[in-house]
Amino acid sequence: MPLRHVVEVSQFDRAGVEDLFARADAMRGIERPSTRQSGKILATIFYEPSTRTRLSFESAMHRLGGAVISTENAREFSSAIKGETVEDTIRMASGYADAIVLRHHEQGAAARAAAVSTVPIINAGDGPGEHPTQALLDLYTIRHELGRIDDLTIVLIGDLKYGRTARSLALLTRLSTGTRLIFVNPPETPMGADIREALAEAGVPFSEEPRLDLALPRADVVYQTRVQKERFASESDFLSAKGTYILGRAAYELLRPSAIVMHPLPRVDEIATEVDADSRSAYFRQAHNGVYVRMALLDMLLGDRS
Ligand code: CP
């Protein structure tokens, strides 16, 4: 069935992901600006801050020849401040645009938006829920860097409780074969029971390893995350979790030469800048891949007019 909305990674099967990745590969080489989506309008409605997701979606739409309308601080500068619901905002915006990229602070907001929208809704992060387009670009980056998405050991580090990117990527690995996950997290931020259950049901092996020095040598992919201060109910829990796992030169000494280090960004101090120039540091390349994957997604949702 063709994609209508992108709300969660469970909407994708292996063939759909491979199709998307092939389209993203093709997007690397298209003329700029293309006319593929000329006349189409994308709305980006962000109730939470963003650098990469909003700008890369907007760059993607411009590169495809479409136009963009945007509210970058919708919590304050849209009619949400007057009490308008997400549903009503989306009912309006779906009359103004051909697709809507929505970031919201409440888990489930993208699904609520999709239920009332007459145009495609793309979930750009719903609170601590999911960030499906980030997971897609993450898996695309793994394929681009390592040449495969199967038979991987992926070490997920940091805030696995509130980190929606880690949650979505873990779920997306259900489409891989022979992939194992190792969770390295402070006690305050374990991977959620919902994700563990989904992985167990799909037969994806996962384990917890609190010792970074034991996990890193096993990794094909290290996926570091920021401890999400804004989502903690308790300041003391945040302070205990913060700074537990930092990747710097000493940690890189433990990595295989062929391993890659990813991070959805933004980072605070969990990857030291001293390792940015190491060829295994893939996080900036990963962020750039977001443009191609999002071009491919927009093209799939809006239809190719060229
Ligand atoms: N990775 C990610 O979602 O980054 P932004 O918050 O800058 O969009």
pLDDT digits (tens, 9 = 90+) for 134-162: 999 999 999 999 999 999 999 999 999 99
Q: Which of 73, 101, 134, 226 to mutate to test the pocket of ligand 1 (most atoms within 8 A of CB)?
A: 134
**Does residue 286 contact residue 245 with C-beta atoms inside 8 Å?**
no
Estimate the crossing angle of helix 283-302 against helix 52-63, to 10 degrees. 50
Q: What is the CA radius of gyration of the chain?
A: 19
Q: What is the DSSP letter of 210?
A: -
| pLDDT band, residue 1 (cuts 50/70/90) | low
User: In this predicted model, what pLDDT tens digit does every residue of 27-44 receive, in sequence order?
Assistant: 999 988 899 999 999 999
Between 264 and 3, the higher pLDDT residue? 264
User: In this predicted model, what pLDDT tens digit does every residue of 190-237 receive, in sequence order?
Assistant: 999 999 999 999 999 999 999 999 999 999 999 999 998 888 888 888
| Average of per-residue pLDDT across 238-259 | 94
Three-state SS at 204: coil
What are residue 113's phi and psi, to 5 degrees? Answer: -65, -45
Beta bridge partners of 67: 41
Ligand 1 atom nearest 48 alpha carbon: 6
Closest by alpha carbon to 217, among 247, 245, 254? 254
Ligand 1 centroid distance, CA of 287 (Å): 9
Ligand 1 atom nearest 56 alpha carbon: 8
User: Which string of DSSP letters, residue by residue, matches 244-297?
Assistant: SS-BSHHHHTTS-TT-EEE--S--SSSB-GGGTTSTTB-HHHHHHHHHHHHHHH
Ligand 1 atom nearest 51 alpha carbon: 7
**Does residue 117 contact residue 90 with C-beta atoms inside 8 Å?**
yes
Output the average pLDDT for the chain. 95
Ligand 1 centroid distance, CA of 57 (Å): 11
Ligand 1 centroid distance, CA of 17 (Å): 21
Q: Which of 51, 162, 268 to mutate to test the pocket of ligand 1 (most atoms within 8 A of CB)?
A: 51
Name the residues annotated as catalytic: 52-53, 82, 103, 131
What is the β-pairing status of strands 41-46 and 67-71? parallel
Predicted pLDDT at 84: 87
Ligand 1 atom 6: the closest Cα is on which residue?
A: 50
How far is it, in rounded angstroms, from Cα 69 to Cα 209?
45
Ligand 1 atom 3: the closest Cα is on which residue?
A: 53
| CB-defined site of ligand 1, < 6 Å | 50-53, 125, 131, 134, 264-266
Ligand 1 centroid distance, CA of 59 (Å): 14
pLDDT above 90 covers what percent of the chain? 88
Tokens of 286: 């990963």
Closest by alpha carbon to 178, among 154, 143, 210, 209? 154
Phi-psi category of residue 127: left, alpha or beta, with phi > 0 → left and psi -120 to 50 → alpha: left
Given a cut of 90, whether residue 305 has pLDDT beyond it is no
HSE of 238, CA atoms in CB hemisphere, 13 A: 11
Predicted pLDDT at 75: 82
Given a cut of 70, whether residue 94 has pLDDT beyond it is yes
pLDDT above 70 covers what percent of the chain? 99
Ligand 1 atom 4: the closest Cα is on which residue?
A: 52
**Does residue 68 contact residue 44 with C-beta atoms inside 8 Å?**
yes
Ligand 1 centroid distance, CA of 306 (Å): 30
How far is it, in rounded angstroms, from Cα 17 to Cα 4?
15
Q: Which of 45, 47, 53, 167 to mutate to test the pocket of ligand 1 (most atoms within 8 A of CB)?
A: 53
How far is it, in rounded angstroms, from Cα 174 to Cα 199?
7
How far is it, in rounded angstroms, from Cα 206 to Cα 185?
13
Ligand 1 atom nearest 103 alpha carbon: 8
Ligand 1 centroid distance, CA of 124 (Å): 9
| pLDDT band, residue 22 (cuts 50/70/90) | very high
Ligand 1 atom nearest 125 alpha carbon: 3
**Does residue 184 contact residue 217 with C-beta atoms inside 8 Å?**
no
**Does residue 255 contact residue 217 with C-beta atoms inside 8 Å?**
yes
